[in-house]
Amino acid sequence: MAAIRLRSRSILAALAVAATLSAVPAFGAAPICDGSTALTLIGMDTSSGQMLFSVPPIGDKGTGWVVQLDGEGNEARAWRDDAKGRFGGSVGPGPVLAAVPCGDRCLQPVRWNTGTWEPLGEALAAPVASTVTPTYDHSGAAWFLLHGATSTEGQMTAWAFRLVNREWKNRGSMTVTAVGQPQALPAPQRKDGVLTGTGLFSGSGRPQTWVTGVPTLPSARRGQLIALTGTSVAYVSGDGVVYLSEDSGKKWRRSTWTPWGSTDTVGIWRQGHDYWVDLPFGDHRGALRLTWFDRRVPSEEKILLTRLTDSGDWVRLIEAPGEVRTKSDERLPVTQILVPKGNLWILLSGCAATAQGSGLVLRVFDGTNLSPARFVAVREGGRK
């Protein structure tokens, strides 16, 4: 998710947020992060909603942290972390997975367990690849997918491995396109399957392509596929334009809907200048959600959350300011929008440091209501 840098909101909204953040709880811990800290999402468990973030040390010395945020955005805990050599991070229905190198073409999958990374299964003999993406299928089995570039622009080679009785079984490889972020997610079509771009891997079948085709776009606009319900598919281009298909990609139509008017307003407002569109980070399989950043009035920039219904209609869910303001008049823009589980959204404005310690500043949208900005104290959970 790209960082969002938004400017001021109305004075009333800012004062309301300042009042909310004024009652910061004391928790007696040294600062773990502050307003300048970049929080990098490692992964999320879409069954519990738990999210893990990698937090670098403040300044040039010390070690970093893993910060664990619960699925409701109410509690955050931190453990000291040495991320050297660890990569990957799963999005799927299970504890976050990652990998550490264990030699030439060797990866040791690990799984997060309340403050520590534990080995998961035997080491994985992996082909040379540029990225490693773990996930789960809907049966609860863990997967690791590796991706490498091909000689054809826009294509990637994907290798898939599924954990069976502590052994990583090779489930084949194939050439795929339209790989998004996350690069691998559970497949809605098969309980034992996962999707990566146009490719479907399963525990009981051969790799296969699950769509007939994707929209033909220039390389700069190529995007990612999202499986919806039945044979419905969405494709979100690199510049945020949505294409929809009801027949598994045989025919595509461009969506011209906007959250502030009918389709004839599209030509009035310039996408990428007056507004832009992005996907919140999470599992979109089965439900397409979009975030709109409205800059039509630069002094009143807003964030709008929207969703595509099963009937193919767009719904405007909520409109929110794009930043919060603290009691000391510090402005904290929204930096990440996350969908950790179900219909719950997290609007994260990063970290803030107080005299008592550090905390995450965020708002939660539960599908109906948007919470006031809250300060979630980051408590040290124990040393590794």
Is the bond preceding residue 182 a cis peptide, omega within 30 degrees? Answer: yes
CATH of 11-382, one of 2.130.10, 2.60.40, 2.40.350, 2.60.120: 2.130.10
Q: What is the pLDDT of residue 381?
A: 84
377 Rama sector, left if φ>0, alpha if ψ -120 to 50, beta otherwise: beta
pLDDT in tens, 254-291: 998 889 875 444 557 788 888 889 999 998 777 899 99
H/E element holding 51? strand 51-55
Question: For residues 363 and 332, is the Cβ–Cβ distance under 8 A?
Answer: no
pLDDT in tens, 140-190: 999 999 999 898 998 999 999 999 999 999 999 999 999 999 999 999 989
Question: For residues 96 and 82, is the Cβ–Cβ distance under 8 A?
Answer: no
Give CA–CA dist 59/247, Å, rounded.
Answer: 53
Q: What is the pLDDT of residue 23?
A: 40
The answer, yes or no, to whether residue 226 has pLDDT greater than 70, is yes
Give CA–CA dist 308/174, Å, rounded.
Answer: 30
Q: What is the pLDDT of residue 90?
A: 97
Under 8 Å CB-to-CB from 11, ≥6 apart: which residues?
none
pTM of the entire predicted model: 0.88
Q: What is the pLDDT of residue 11?
A: 28
3-state secondary structure 202-245: ECCCCCEECCCCCCCCCHHHCCEEEECCCCCEEEECCCCCEEEE
Give CA–CA dist 57/80, Å, rounded.
Answer: 10
pLDDT in tens, 4-47: 333 233 322 333 334 344 444 444 456 899 988 999 999 999 99
Give CA–CA dist 269/286, Å, rounded.
Answer: 29
Strands laid side by side in the 76-81 sheet: 91-92, 40-45, 51-55, 64-69, 76-81, 374-382, 357-365, 344-354, 336-341, 281-282
